[in-house]
Structure 1
């Protein structure tokens, strides 16, 4: 098995830039995932985020999770459970409008540090989108513009904990799926593993590395690149010991952004033509909500067949 792609972003500033860009391109084409080190977010900030996230879980969420497990009788499960996930989560929205001040139970220092962390991740996401543009031969800023909509991108964070599970062979932490959106930036636990992606029909571990940010591509990047880059099925396994922290931030198109394959890439493909549909992102999300844990291809087919809620007009060329 090839080794999981790890990208040292400092190498983008020197003579190894060309080789590093090739590794990123290969990761986008063949893995849908890669891991970043030296990404510019300080270790101190990441350590504080981790410490406060774990404290918040212990103080505010652990007991609630135990009560949910007891009420569902999950500890006594005898057969595989396919309709729920062994995870404790809450969501933060950053763009277009933040809701951090409205989330109950968050200490003030935790709110402050999550705002700072989100600002760093937003900057990193936009830097990565431009690196993808460069690899794809699209003009700088094309992907950011494609995501923009009328109010800018949607950007939010899912903060998850995967507590120890007495029946890890019967219950998934998070069932297999692809992500609906654009670019996902994950700060994961470096001690407790569990994230896996499907590559060439085999499940591959995404290695936990201290202070790294794991990147994966969502369905919208597959559409915009006309299938050159692909979103990849992934899942989270639970462990009998150890609580796994996962902070996944989703840099997604704006709700009214119109998504379609980049004309320059369609032209480059020649006879293959435009393989993916044109649609409003919010319409895709409504469809995805009920079909998250099913294959993505029927979702794309459904969008082809569906009339979007706004007049999409002719495909624009940028």
Structure 2
């Protein structure tokens, strides 16, 4: 099944209504989609990928394969395990200068996309921005992760994306703001046996002091199916290991952009 691709260059022409309809459908039924012609410089995207890949190869790859995660997999005997085959790292200030333009451009893209989403929902175009803003506006972060070669691809459990496109996940906060009209979905990266995969995520999040609540302009449906209830009751179980990892990182005093 192919993830929906949205071409932002179509917004200024005769296909604008069709493009907005595809965006609405993707947010409402999928919770994820891909964007091309997004305005982020492709050469800058390639620069970021080269920087991250070089850093992993020279400084982190060897240490990952002697980590507890890798050791555990070696003795799994093909038993399916809930392993986090991700190897993220923090970018300290001395390194950020090499790619400092990327989060800014990604933020511009996120702001533009949020305005389009608001338009589809019938909200003021800056509604999401205001909802996410605390004292200093929305929080924008960058998370880099590498998924190295894994010989047991059937044990560790995203199709390849269009070159230079951006994959968008709507996220939990937008599901709340839209009063459940737009969906947040769980997602994970499929590791490869003969090659690595790279994730460079820009996180457009509310500030810590932002109050997130459903907009009164979008009333929740009067009826819902049991499957919707069950999904809402269990959706965060799969995220608990990641939330616990972040608690430990923050508890250790880590800072910077991940």
1:228 & 1:69 partners in 2: Cα distance? 41
Structure with greater proportional strand content: 1
Is 2:161 the counterpart of 1:208? Answer: yes
- Kindly report which structure 2 residues correspond to 1:10-25, keeping only aligned pairs within 5 A, or say none: 10-25=9-24
Counterpart in the other structure of 2:131: 146
3-state DSSP of counterpart to 1:12: helix
Describe the superposition over 1:80-128 as per-residue Cα deviations: whole angstroms up to 9, x where unpaired. 222x311211245xxxxxxx416xxx4xxxx224210110000100111
Is 2:187 the counterpart of 1:234? Answer: yes
- Kindly report which structure 2 residues correspond to 1:1-318, keeping only aligned pairs within 5 A, or say none: 3-69=2-68, 72-78=71-77, 79-82=79-82, 84-91=83-90, 100-101=92-93, 106=95, 111-172=96-157, 195=158, 205=159, 207-266=160-219, 271=222, 292-293=239-240
Deviation at 1:69, TM superposition (A): 5.0
2:11 & 2:70 partners in 1: Cα distance? 51
Deviation at 1:76, TM superposition (A): 2.6
Deviation at 1:59, TM superposition (A): 1.0
Q: List structure 1 segments (4+ residues) > 4 angstroms apart after TM superposition.
A: 269-272
Distance of aligned partners of 1:59 and 1:36 in 2 relative to their CA distance in 1, 3 Å threshold: same
Distance of aligned partners of 1:74 and 1:4 in 2 relative to their CA distance in 1, 3 Å threshold: closer
Unmatched segments (≥5 aa) in structure 1: 93-99, 173-194, 196-204, 273-287, 295-318
1:251 & 1:68 partners in 2: Cα distance? 31
State TM-score, norm by structure 2.
0.82
Distance of aligned partners of 1:11 and 1:86 in 2 relative to their CA distance in 1, 3 Å threshold: same
CA contact (8 A) 2:138 2:205 kept: yes
Describe the superposition over 1:290-311 as per-residue Cα deviations: whole angstroms up to 9, x where unpaired. 86159xxxxxxxxxxxxxxxxx
1:91 & 1:137 partners in 2: Cα distance? 38
2:134 & 2:190 partners in 1: Cα distance? 35
Unmatched segments (≥5 aa) in structure 2: 224-235, 242-258
Query: May I ask how many residue pairs the two structures share in their alignment?
Result: 229
Deviation at 1:20, TM superposition (A): 0.6
Higher normalized contact order (CA 8 Å, seq sep 6+, divided by chain length): 2
